[in-house]
Structure 1
Amino acid sequence: MAENYTVTLPHYSVGPNCYDNIGEVTHFLGKTAAVVGGETALEKAGPQLRAGLEKAGIEIVDWFVYGKDATMANVERITSNEKVKGADMIFGVGGGRAVDTVKTAADILDKPFLSVPTVASNCAPVTAIAVIYKENGALDHYHFPKRCATHCFINTSIILDSPEKLFWAGIGDALSKQAESQLASRGKALSHTPLLGVQVGLVCEEPLLTYGRQALFDFREGKVTEAFTESVLDIIISTGITSNLVTTKDSYYYNSSLAHCFYNASMVLPVIHKHLHGEVVSFGTLVLHAVDGNDEALERMLEFNRVLGLPVTLAELDITKPEEVDALVDRAVTIKEWTCVPYEMTKEKFRDGIYKVDALGRELLANK
């Protein structure tokens, strides 16, 4: 008998005044809400979000900072809060780690979760997966909620007020989705849902190559433009839809591959912790293409990274010693994404890919 399963896909509102649409969604969910997020995120989104909730007739039963990282300790701070337990719905406000923390707590409490991203740095606001870290910053585990966010409110004016580096890194993170989903699924007999997801993944790269540079210029100018909005939607929605369609807890996982393997493994190095997730992942995407022998894609992405200032060398990630690369490679073999390739991976192949990118990157920077 065929397996029974449920797929949830993102519902979202986008625009500089999208909090005005909260009532259209919450009308079916209840009348009380707990709002939990990052400290800066709650400050910046606060006035507009409070106004949107008031317009929707939603009573805010609690409003507090979740902590500083996506850890189980911070998840438990939320799940043990009596006001949160009594709320009809939970709003998660902030970047990826804040959203993942609140998303996990809402899933445990079986509450409707509404995401309010204040940065465009990854697809966490709409995915049915959360990355949980240990207290020391290392990867702990993935949490797989039963569904993605009930709705996502993408206020582009709020995102425009976020740190430029987070948007910059978001472009770097989103560029990995197409390459990783294609590589992880290559040679697999795909059923309907992952097949659909892999095809959606094919639209994650080109919009960023087309709009990414202009979007950064517009961000600096403080303008909500087509290029900026298209890039934000690519980072949050296109990659998020792909993720939801190619990810299950047990049956299959085509969501990530060697780019995120590089990032997750690099967390063993203290020097990496000062670099942003998408920044490191963007270098990992170059490593993926090098390992896969796709020189055309590698050349194209090296040039794009150079133009945007994303890393093309190890030195830009403060990795300067062979023993640091060796430690990263040793850690990589223990990461789930190490196996998300259509061939046998070896330490030598991964290490050679890293050094190939570094050599080409150093040559590119020397000749620019």
Structure 2
Amino acid sequence: MKTVTFSGYTIGEDAYNSIDLICSVYGSKIQLIGGKKALGEALPELEKALEDTNMTLLAPLYYGNECTHENMEALAKKTKDNGADIIAGVGGGKAIDTAKGVASITKLPFITIPTIASTCAATTKLSVVYNNNHKFVEFMRFDYPPIHTFINSNIIAKAPKKYLRAGMGDTLAKYYECTFATGNDELNFENGLGKTISRMCAEPLFTHGTRALKDCQNKISSTSLEEVILANIVNTGMVSLLVDQDYNGAVAHSLFYGLVLLAHIEKTYLHGDIVAYGILVQLMIDQQLEEAKKVYEYLKDWGCPVSLADIELSTDKTTLKPVLKETVQGPDMKHLPYKIDEDMIYDAILKVEKF
């Protein structure tokens, strides 16, 4: 037996007004868990939306600045002590992933309130767990995604545009990686549907991306911005929930995990920006020159890295050797249409440099 469950979503400047309607069936006491800045932005709007309802916002809990098992356990105890009925993850990926873990431990219903659109964490059943030294530990997988995500587009419009841009890079990769990884495989219903939906991780960005970034820069909530937010948070999440792990990543993400071995990459650049650069490398490996040129122009227009110089690197192979080694050994490289080695990746990097 196989069950596929998706998160519902509400988007708009008044999105929080629907919390009472959707969540009251689960109880009345909501435990907010999030980042300090995110809670500062969302809490006044949440209080206003729920003031004439029977829903109660318990004193918010700060998630702890990293998604760790220790933070999950400590927050789960506080949540139980507070007598919460519902858990709400507020903020970006790390805060929401931490709250997912708390919901799993406490067995409480879980909703998400994203305040940036840099990842699809708000709609997936996965947490990326780190240790207290900020080193990756594991992917923590859950039985179900959040019940619902409430997306206040005005709050996301006020967030730094770099988060929206990084989300766009990660979202665009979902289409190109899923398409590449599936290759000529005979796909079952879920994988076929996920692959088809993945196109909606690219088309809205090509249509609305530039306008959305300008509106975010000017802190304007607009139709274009909402289309990109939905692509980043909802479309990408749906694909992730549908397709097998073999199809959820390919070269772009594997190259990211190689590049973050370099300290300045890990410290300076957002995940989605580095993944965006990896799309170009993947397309050149697959000899999709015209598609690579098209993507290059969009990424350059959006402000994503399109060359090694953009991420403070050169073509020196000695420097890149550990990056290349890590890339080919990554789990996302295990199910591709053909074997890719270090030389193929390096050659593709050199070709991208010639654009």
TM range (shorter): over 0.9
Q: Which aligned segments of 4 or more residues in structure 1 are displaced greater than 6 angstroms? A: none
1: CA distance, partners of 2:73 / 2:321: 36
Question: What residue ranges of structure 1 are gaps of 5+ in the alignment?
Answer: none
Residue identity matched to 1:292: D
TM-score norm. by structure 2 comes to 0.94
2: CA distance, partners of 1:265 / 1:77: 32
Contact persistence 2:157–2:215 (CA under 8 A): no
Q: Which residue does 1:242 correspond to in 2?
A: 239
2: CA distance, partners of 1:355 / 1:32: 56
2: CA distance, partners of 1:157 / 1:175: 23
Contact persistence 1:290–1:356 (CA under 8 A): yes
Once the two structures are TM-superposed, the CA of residue 163 in structure 1 deviates from its matched residue by 1.1
Once the two structures are TM-superposed, the CA of residue 210 in structure 1 deviates from its matched residue by 1.0
Q: Which moved more, 1:70-79 or 1:200-209?
A: 70-79
1: CA distance, partners of 2:124 / 2:335: 19
Q: Which moved more, 1:323-332 or 1:169-178?
A: 323-332
- Establish whether residue 268 from structure 1 lines up as the match of residue 265 from structure 2: no
The RMSD of aligned alpha carbons is 1.7
Q: Which residue does 2:279 correspond to in 1?
A: 285
Q: Which residue does 1:80 correspond to in 2?
A: 77
- Establish whether residue 328 from structure 1 lines up as the match of residue 323 from structure 2: yes
What aligned pairs does 1:1-368 form with structure 2 within 5 A after superposition?
Answer: 4-83=1-80, 86-247=83-244, 252-273=245-266, 274-320=268-314, 321-357=316-352, 359-360=353-354, 364=355
Q: Which moved more, 1:136-145 or 1:189-198?
A: 136-145
Compared with structure 1, are the counterparts of its residues 84 and 280 closer, same or farther at alpha carbon in structure 2 (3 Å cutoff)?
farther
Compared with structure 1, are the counterparts of its residues 229 and 354 closer, same or farther at alpha carbon in structure 2 (3 Å cutoff)?
same
2: CA distance, partners of 1:283 / 1:191: 31
Once the two structures are TM-superposed, the CA of residue 82 in structure 1 deviates from its matched residue by 4.7
TM-score norm. by structure 1 comes to 0.91
- The size of the alignment, in residue pairs, is 353
Give SS of 1:121's match.
coil
Give a deviation string over 1:214-271, Cα, whole Å, max 9, x none: 1111112222111111111111111111111114xxxx53111111111122221101
Question: What residue ranges of structure 2 are gaps of 5+ in the alignment?
Answer: none
2: CA distance, partners of 1:95 / 1:328: 27
Give SS of 1:149's match.
coil
Compared with structure 1, are the counterparts of its residues 348 and 153 closer, same or farther at alpha carbon in structure 2 (3 Å cutoff)?
same
Give a deviation string over 1:276-301, Cα, whole Å, max 9, x none: 11111101111111122211211111
Give aligned-pair identity as a percent. 32
Compared with structure 1, are the counterparts of its residues 82 and 43 closer, same or farther at alpha carbon in structure 2 (3 Å cutoff)?
closer
